[in-house]
């Protein structure tokens, strides 16, 4: 053997000795010990080993139990988990002194209001109404909120919607996009849907001639079939008007029920105004009839004892029409403005 080969051999030999010396005390890293969870939330129909144990390793995705119903909570006894773990190659794990594990099935809640709106939207489309708020819904039986998968994010809707316009009855099946549970067990709803309208109703009894204020009225929704065709729906059409006759509380209001309030009462003292270009005459007089704004009534000029026709301008004020003659103005004795 040549000297060069001997040197290469000795270098490799010593390198191997140094490597073995450095690694003589090293041991393989110990795998983390699986440990039991006290509570877990699952997204699917089954509970997997990884849902129950921390550090479950390669068998974490193995299903071992059925999960509770959507939105429900259940428990699994520790001895059952021990048995399932052993069957899947985990002989030992830290139970942390737990006797059971709480299982929560994740879910999204579809509320009763969501279901009512789904029916109302279906009825709105079927009836060709402008607003979904114009539909009232009443179910045949008690309907509770619905639990669906958390990833089924779409709004509830009604499929196979059927409607009888004579009885106002409906029937349909609830759908939520992405929900497998509803595909497996469809939910059927039935009941009554009716078109409604907002109407102004009286909050109290009102006497004839009494002026209505905000506190005297309410806005309610009534079935369209129960509301008068000309029922008033906006408070602005009612407030400031007077009752044409005595009206009872709870009654819906129509234009025929209302009139302008009297600004002048019969036998009231009034200010009579006569206006011509450049001059205005006023005097005191007496109203011979009641009148609302814009009404023409007779008034008595106590000075001339003449009766004039005048138009009610405001509370206690009437105006002699511009078409009157200056002679009519001459019958008025009063202040010049």
The structural domains of the chain, with segments of one domain joined by +, span 35-106, 110-197, 199-261, 263-336
Per-residue model confidence (pLDDT) at position 77? 97
Asked if residues 105 and 44 have their Cβ atoms less than 8 Å apart, the reply is no
pLDDT grade for 1, boundaries at 50, 70 and 90: very low
Q: For domain 35-106, give the fold.
A: eubacterium ventriosum atcc fold (2.60.480)
Higher pLDDT, 227 or 183: 183
Q: How confident is the model over 278-319, as pLDDT tens digits?
A: 778 888 999 888 888 788 889 988 888 889 889 888 888 899
Element (H, E) at 79: helix 78-87
* Cα–Cα dist 301/312, whole Å: 15
Q: Is 90 exceeded by the pLDDT of residue 82? A: yes
The pLDDT tens digits for 147-168 are 999 999 899 999 999 999 999 9
Between CA 15 and CA 7 the distance in angstroms is: 12
Instruction: Return the pLDDT at 303.
Output: 83
Question: Does the structure show a pLDDT above 90 at 29?
Answer: no
Q: How confident is the model at residue 3 (pLDDT cuts 50, 70, 90)?
A: low
Query: How many other C-beta atoms are found inside a 10 Å radius of the C-beta of residue 146?
Result: 22
Mean pLDDT confidence for 108-117: 96
pLDDT value at residue 19:
56
Over residues 265-289, mean pLDDT: 85
pLDDT score of 336: 41
pLDDT higher than 70, residue 135:
yes
Q: State the Cα–Cα distance between residues 68 and 90, nearest whole angstrom.
A: 24
pLDDT above 70 covers a percentage of the chain that reads 86
Q: Which helix (H) or strand (E) holds 262?
A: strand 262-264
- What pLDDT does residue 24 have? 52
CATH, domain 263-336, list 2.40.160.100, 3.40.50.1860, 2.30.30.760, 3.40.1640.10? 2.30.30.760
> Measured between alpha carbons, how far is residue 5 from residues 15, 16, 19, 114 in Å?
16, 17, 21, 87
Query: By CB neighbour count within 10 A (0-12 exposed, 13-18 middle, 19+ buried), where does 98 fall?
Result: middle
Arch. (CATH architecture) of 199-261: Alpha-Beta Complex (3.90)
β-pair type (306-314, 242-243): unpaired
Give the count of beta carbons closer than 10 Å to the beta carbon of residue 185.
7
Q: What is the pTM of this model?
A: 0.63
Distance, CA of 86 to CA of 102 (rounded, Å): 20
- The gap from C-alpha 60 to its chain's centroid, in whole angstroms, comes to 43
Q: How far apart are CA 52 and CA 36, in angstroms?
A: 6
DSSP characters over 292-309: ETT-EEEEEETTTTEEEE
Helix (H, G, I), strand (E, B) or coil at 36: strand
């Amino acid at each position: 053997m040549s000297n060069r080969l001997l040197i290469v051999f000795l270098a490799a030999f010593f390198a191997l000795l140094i490597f073995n010396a450095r690694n003589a005390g090293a041991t393989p890293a110990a795998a983390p010990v699986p440990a039991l969870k006290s509570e877990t939330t699952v997204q699917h129909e089954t509970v997997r080993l990884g849902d129950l144990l921390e550090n479950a390793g390669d068998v974490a995705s193995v299903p071992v139990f059925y999960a509770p119903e959507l939105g429900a909570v259940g428990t699994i006894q520790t001895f059952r988990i021990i048995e399932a773990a052993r069957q899947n190659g985990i002989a030992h794990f830290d139970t942390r002194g737990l006797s059971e594990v709480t299982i929560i099935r994740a879910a999204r809640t579809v509320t009763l209001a969501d279901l009512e709106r789904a029916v109302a939207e279906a009825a709105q489309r079927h009836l060709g109404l402008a607003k979904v708020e114009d539909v009232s819904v009443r179910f045949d039986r008690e309907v509770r909120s619905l639990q669906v998968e958390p990833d089924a994010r779409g709004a509830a809707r009604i499929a196979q919607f059927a409607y009888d316009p004579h009885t106002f009855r409906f029937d349909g099946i609830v759908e939520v996009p992405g929900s497998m549970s509803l595909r497996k067990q469809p939910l059927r709803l039935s009941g009554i849907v009716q078109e409604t309208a907002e109407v102004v109703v009286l909050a109290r009894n009102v006497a004839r001639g009494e002026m209505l204020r905000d506190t005297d009225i309410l806005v309610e929704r009534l079935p369209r079939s129960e509301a008068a065709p000309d029922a008033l729906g906006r408070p602005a059409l009612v407030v400031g008007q007077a009752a044409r006759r005595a009206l009872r509380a709870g009654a819906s209001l129509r234009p025929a029920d209302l009139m302008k309030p009297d600004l002048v009462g019969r036998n009231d003292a009034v200010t009579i105004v006569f206006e011509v270009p450049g001059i205005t005459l006023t005097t005191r007089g007496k109203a011979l009839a009641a009148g609302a704004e814009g009404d023409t009534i007779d008034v008595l000029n106590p000075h001339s004892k003449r009766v004039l026709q005048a138009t009610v301008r405001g509370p206690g004020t009437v105006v002699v029409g511009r078409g009157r003659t200056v002679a009519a103005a001459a019958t008025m004795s009063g202040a010049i403005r």
